[in-house]
Amino acid sequence: MARPFPAVFRPVWRRNFCVSTPKRAIDKLCDSAPEAIKEMKGSSTVLVGGFGFSGVPNTLIDAVRDRPDITDLTVVSNNAGMPGAGLGQLLETKQISKMIASFIGENKVFEKMYLTGDLALELTPQGSIAEKCAAGAAGVPAFYTPAAYGTIVQTGELPVRYNKDGSVAETSKPKETREFNGKNYLLEESIFGDYALVKAHKADKLGNCQFRKAMNNFNEAMGKNAKYTIVEADHIVEVGEIAPEDIHLQSIYVNKVIQSLGEKQIEKLTFAKDPSEMLKAGSGEATARRERIVKRAAKEFQDGMYVNLGIGMPLIAPSYLPEGVEVVLQAENGILGLGGYPQPGEEDPDLINPGKETVTLGRGASLFGSHESFGMIRAGRIDLTMLGALQVSQYGDLANFMLPGKVKGVGGAMDLVANPEKTKVVVTMEHVDKKGNSKILPECSFPLTGPRCVWKIITDLAVFNVSPTEGLTLAEHAEGVSVDEIRSKTAAPFKVADDLKPMLAEIIKIEHPVRGDDTRAWGPPYATYKDGRDGEGESAYYLSVNRNKRSLGLSFAHPEGVEILHELARRCDVLVENYLPNSLKKYSLDYETIRHINPRLIYASITGYGQTGPYSNRPGFDVMVEAEFGLAHLTGSRDGPPVKVGVAVTDLTTGLYACNSIMAALLARGITGEGQHLDVCLSDCQVATLANMGSSVLISGEKDSGRWGTAHPSVVPYQSFKTADGDIFVGGANDRLFGILCEKLEKPEWKDDERFSSNNERVRNRNILESMIEAETSKLTTKEWQQIFEGSGLPFAVVNDVQGTMNHEHVRARGMVQTIDHPSCGPIKVISPPVKYSNAEPSIRSPPPLLGQHTQEILREVVGFSDSRIQELKEKGVVA
């Protein structure tokens, strides 16, 4: 016999498929927010969804505000809005007695009420809040998490409530800890809400809800958690209008639904702008520091990475990603595939980043709740997280959430650094604080965000690798910053890497992939190859001017070569070229083209005769310019022919002028944010270095006095004189020095001779005086005259050949010759950088490169090409 159904049973099929019933039995719609909350009572735990201003149930919050009888609320929310907005209103009406939140942010009312004892605050990591709500929704009373282990959240030292005098009235409770698989965790108890106030995009009469863009955040977990969930929706729709697969919050969790009122607000309206604008920080010096940090930080990204970025400098770093390198940005508020900032008119209140700024979505992006977002993070699915810091210890402890007397909140940082074994933690920060105190310490003095979690520190001065057992290793230094300076500004001890490198400053030399730089063939002499490769070796000329460079063998006759140069120009600070004016235009490598790719680029054109003028299209070499513009005419013996200077002095002075102008343009860019075109030419620089000789002609209006050999046209005696076995140069450039010379020549009477009593007289009678001096100097050897003049105060010098110069005791004592290891030629001697700095150690960091020696690594590291792509370019002859 069949068992009868209970009388109260009503088959679901009868309700679902009946077409004669005009109205559904279940209808959770309310006419207003006051009606929806009419049963709400005080002394309750209320879960309030939203993140920043996104997904905040403002209509319901306003209704609670208008019920002054609802007091003594414990509110769980990521943050508490702003003064006069969102939950900020309930703080001001003092309806909230306790907040469970992760972030105070810029809400000064919130911060003041907490610090003055008017409000209890249980600061909780953002991911833990999300998981506490999700676990409670699933009926799980507690769970273990690595987030906040080793911090004051775990030890129970976090102030929950202050007294009026600022003393601590109540602290948090210590958390139970346990080890699983060699890793430490703490026990978090789940949250069980009495009420949840939730914001949805769409809701139907049954209570099914759909979220839009980043609205999900805490709304889903909180909506599923509470005993009584009230939803306000932008759009109330008929049952069935939301596709089953698009329902995020199911009707079983929802008690009431109302129409959301009022316009959506945006907390931080942010539009797309040039990275240089985002880097600006007051002074040009501060901007330069930020730029150095951000550009170096961008090098940490590798193709295919999943990355989470903190607010501030980390968020700017993707702007400097090389072409072809793709990383997927994850945001704690439920976005995978975060895009850049929107253009004006494209902003969306429902789409913000963790910094509350308006953003866009990248191709292939996905959206979800905060509980799932932090699940990804804690599980180590994120390859790298980059965030700022107040302090970092020598073993990688991180402090970045609390200063004495100031509280911003923990946010999501404790979760982000909770799995350093799988997620690399990179810190970007200035090396010292505003008072000049080091931010890298033996131990952090501020409360920890996470213990022994930092993998790398990038500052404006240096890059440190961090080991939780070995401590700090200095891996890179900023250009011009010495190890001693870094030590003086780093409170923690550190080791120096054997292969210490510069942070950013590098020179990429673009060479023809077959011939290379012309100077490679300017020999002999050559430093011969010792590794068996073909050829005579590397020319001494080439070796003299190409140290500290990397070689990229590339042909821009190929369109793909031009594309590579465009990408390099986009990423670099300075481009130097020495082609005839307008000849690069056909390759789209001229200034007008390049400046649109990178408006901040300093583009220096070095030519023979400049970008304008009747000779501008002439090719120019040093000796031609020496001849054309006066130097050869002034060089040589008195009655001899014009002579070329012994080294390419016009080339060298032009290089120095170019270097100075580049540095000046970089300083200007720090103020204006704009690059510029520098027109530097041999002819102009040669005219400028005529110096006093050029000025003499301009002032007198007469022809110059011609060649003077080693003598000076306006100062006597000031030249080389023969000795018994060579030559010696003396400079009696004023009356006092001339007097010393007379004494040392044992001719004191010359000082009183009217013919030599002043420089004017000595110039007028120079032939007589010069003959008299040489008659005396010829009596002794050069070495004997050295001994006589030494210590007298008279400027003098022996005339040495080049080998004698390189072996000179003073040259050696000043470290002007050093030996470096060349990859193919073995140990070679080279001339050192000439300037000594008190706070820096300029060095020859790398030998002059072989042709194309760095092609592979430049295209891979800087441009972001794969090895297979590089091989393809090599086979086409684009690179070598």
For residue range 639-671, list pLDDT tens digits in order.
Answer: 889 888 889 999 999 999 999 999 999 888 878
- Rounded CA-CA distance 669/185 in Å is 49
The Cβ of residue 493 has, within 10 Å, a number of other Cβ atoms equal to 10
Residues 6+ apart with CB under 8 A from 660: none
- Rounded CA-CA distance 702/42 in Å is 101
For residue range 825-854, list pLDDT tens digits in order.
Answer: 999 999 998 988 876 667 787 889 999 999
- Domains in the chain: boundaries: 33-141+190-259, 275-502, 555-700, 718-799
Report field, pTM of the whole predicted structure over 0.75: no
Query: Nearest CA to 581 among 590, 572, 592?
Result: 590
Q: Residue 3's pLDDT is what?
A: 39
Planar angle of CA 615, 618, 619, nearest 5 degrees: 140
Q: What's the sign of the alpha-carbon dihedral 308, 310, 316, 317?
A: negative
Query: Nearest CA to 643 among 712, 706, 696?
Result: 706
In the predicted model, what is the mean pLDDT of residues 82-101?
94
- Rounded CA-CA distance 283/863 in Å is 31
Q: Residue 865's pLDDT is what?
A: 85
For residue range 298-352, list pLDDT tens digits in order.
Answer: 989 988 999 999 988 998 888 887 656 789 999 999 999 999 999 999 999 999 9
- Rounded CA-CA distance 109/93 in Å is 11
In the predicted model, what is the mean pLDDT of residues 683-701?
92
Distance of CA 367 to the CA centre of its chain: 29
- Rounded CA-CA distance 268/332 in Å is 17
- DSSP summary character for residue 782: H
Structure tokens at 206: 């049954």
Q: Residue 92's pLDDT is what?
A: 95
- Rounded CA-CA distance 190/197 in Å is 18
For residue 513, how many C-alpha atoms fall within 13 Å in the half-sphere facing its CB? Answer: 16
Tell me phi and psi for residue 391, to 5 degrees: -150, 150
Planar angle of CA 702, 704, 710, nearest 5 degrees: 160
Q: Residue 19 — very low, low, confident or very high, per pLDDT cuts 50/70/90?
A: very low
Judge whether 332 and 126 are in contact, CB under 8 Å. yes
Buried b (16+ CB within 10 A) or exposed e, 114-143: bbebbbbbbbbbbbbbbbbbbbbbeeeeeb
- Using a CB cutoff of 8 Å and minimum separation of 24, what contacts does 444-447 make? 444/391, 444/392, 444/393, 444/397, 444/398, 444/399, 445/391, 445/399, 446/390, 446/391, 446/399, 446/402, 446/403, 446/404, 447/151, 447/152, 447/157, 447/158, 447/399, 447/401, 447/402
Residues 6+ apart with CB under 8 A from 703: 697
Q: Residue 839's pLDDT is what?
A: 65
Q: Where are the alpha helices (DSSP H) in 557-681?
A: 559-571, 591-597, 622-628, 631-634, 649-672
Query: Does the domain made of 275-502 have the CATH classification 3.40.960.10?
Result: no
Residues 6+ apart with CB under 8 A from 773: 717, 721, 730, 741, 745
Integer-rounded Cα radius of gyration of the chain? 38
Going through 86-227 in order, the beta strands assigned E by DSSP cover 96-101, 120-123, 142-145, 159-162, 168-171, 177-180, 183-189, 195-204, 209-210
- Rounded CA-CA distance 101/408 in Å is 11
Q: Residue 46's pLDDT is what?
A: 98
Strand partners, 830: 818
AA identity, residue 644? K
Instruction: Name the fold adopted by 718-799.
Output: formyl-coa transferase, domain 3 (3.30.1540)
Query: pLDDT over 70 for what percent of the chain?
Result: 96
Going through 724-868 in order, the beta strands assigned E by DSSP cover 727-731, 796-798, 817-822, 826-831
Query: Nearest CA to 404 among 358, 444, 377?
Result: 444
- Rounded CA-CA distance 184/147 in Å is 10
Q: Residue 282's pLDDT is what?
A: 66
Distance of CA 370 to the CA centre of its chain: 29
Query: Would you say residue 13 has pLDDT above 60?
Result: no
Query: Nearest CA to 114 among 172, 53, 159?
Result: 159
Q: Residue 21 — very low, low, confident or very high, per pLDDT cuts 50/70/90?
A: very low
Catalytic residue selected from 267, 291, 300, 332: 332
In the predicted model, what is the mean pLDDT of residues 849-878?
89
Structure tokens at 207: 């209570």
Same fold, 33-141+190-259 and 275-502: yes
Query: The domain at 33-141+190-259 falls in which architecture?
Result: 3-Layer(aba) Sandwich (3.40)
Residue whose token pair is 């004023």: 734
Q: Is 323 helix (H, G, I), strand (E, B) or coil?
A: coil
Q: Residue 707's pLDDT is what?
A: 84
For residue range 400-433, list pLDDT tens digits in order.
Answer: 988 877 777 889 999 999 999 999 999 999 999 9
Q: Residue 5's pLDDT is what?
A: 37
- Rounded CA-CA distance 434/457 in Å is 18
Structure tokens at 111: 């911060």
Residues 6+ apart with CB under 8 A from 78: 50, 51, 101, 102, 103, 126, 129, 217, 218, 370
Q: Put residue 741 in one of left, alpha, beta given phi > 0 → left and psi -120 to 50 → alpha.
A: alpha
Q: Residue 14 — very low, low, confident or very high, per pLDDT cuts 50/70/90?
A: very low
- Rounded CA-CA distance 696/704 in Å is 7
In the chain, % helix, strand, coil (3-state, to 5) comes to 30, 25, 45
In the predicted model, what is the mean pLDDT of residues 729-741?
92
Query: Would you say residue 539 has pLDDT above 80?
Result: yes
Q: Is 678 helix (H, G, I), strand (E, B) or coil?
A: strand
- DSSP summary character for residue 291: H
Strand partners, 96: 73
**Maximum average pLDDT range among 199-203, 549-553, 744-748:** 199-203
Query: Would you say residue 163 has pLDDT above 60?
Result: yes
Helix (H) or strand (E) holding 328: strand 328-331
Instruction: Name the fold adopted by 555-700.
Output: Rossmann fold (3.40.50)
Q: Residue 481 — very low, low, confident or very high, per pLDDT cuts 50/70/90?
A: confident
Judge whether 497 and 463 are in contact, CB under 8 Å. no
**DSSP letters of 101-121?**
ESB-TT-HHHHHHHHTTSSEE
For residue range 277-289, list pLDDT tens digits in order.
Answer: 777 776 677 888 8
Q: Quick check: is 285 catalytic?
A: no
Judge whether 680 and 650 are in contact, CB under 8 Å. no
Tell me phi and psi for residue 280, to 5 degrees: -60, 135
| Per-residue CA distances from 221 to 129, 302, 387, 428, 869 (Å) | 10, 33, 26, 33, 46
- Rounded CA-CA distance 246/633 in Å is 87
How are beta strands 306-309 and 256-259 bridged, if at all? unpaired
